[in-house]
């Protein structure tokens, strides 16, 4: 699979929302962001807010677009690949949703 290269004009981010114990987490794979929340909806909302702030800060700092295309943590990359392939997920996490969001 060819990964899309994010730029300051367009791009997308893969995300996974999961729960471990009593905490919900939303992971933004391309930016290596892991955000928590009290519910799955709050965690996902907080993730998208963090992504917006991340992109705005990178633009203001005049950083190169490569900061928008980080190498994804291997654990989350494997989890993503298992999810899209429909494989059983061997993980301590309960997965609620996953997908791709335009940024």
Question: 90: pLDDT confidence band, cut at 50, 70 and 90?
Answer: confident
pLDDT of residue 65: 72
User: Rounded to two decimals, what is the model's pTM?
Assistant: 0.86
Q: What percent of the chain has pLDDT over 70?
A: 96
* Overall domain count for the chain: 1
Q: Is 34 exposed, middle or buried (0-12, 13-18, 19+ CB in 10 A)?
A: middle
24 contacts 37 by C-beta, under 8 angstroms: yes
Assigned domain for 7 exists: no
Assigned domain for 6 exists: no
Q: Which two tokens stand for residue 21?
A: 């114990």
Assigned domain for 3 exists: no
Residue pLDDT, tens place only, 38-88: 999 999 999 999 999 988 898 889 887 778 888 899 999 999 999 999 998
Q: From residue 29, how far is each of 8, 15, 32, 60 by CA, in Å? A: 17, 6, 5, 22
């Amino acid at each position: 699979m060819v990964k899309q290269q994010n730029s300051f004009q367009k791009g997308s981010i893969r995300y996974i929302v999961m729960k471990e114990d009593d905490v919900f987490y939303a992971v933004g794979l391309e930016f290596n962001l892991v955000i928590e929340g009290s519910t799955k909806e709050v965690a996902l909302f907080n993730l998208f807010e963090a992504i917006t702030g991340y992109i705005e800060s990178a633009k203001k700092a005049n950083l190169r677009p490569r900061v928008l295309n980080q190498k994804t943590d291997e654990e989350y990359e494997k989890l993503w690949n298992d999810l899209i392939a429909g494989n059983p997920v061997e993980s301590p996490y309960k997965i609620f949703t996953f997908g791709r969001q335009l940024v």
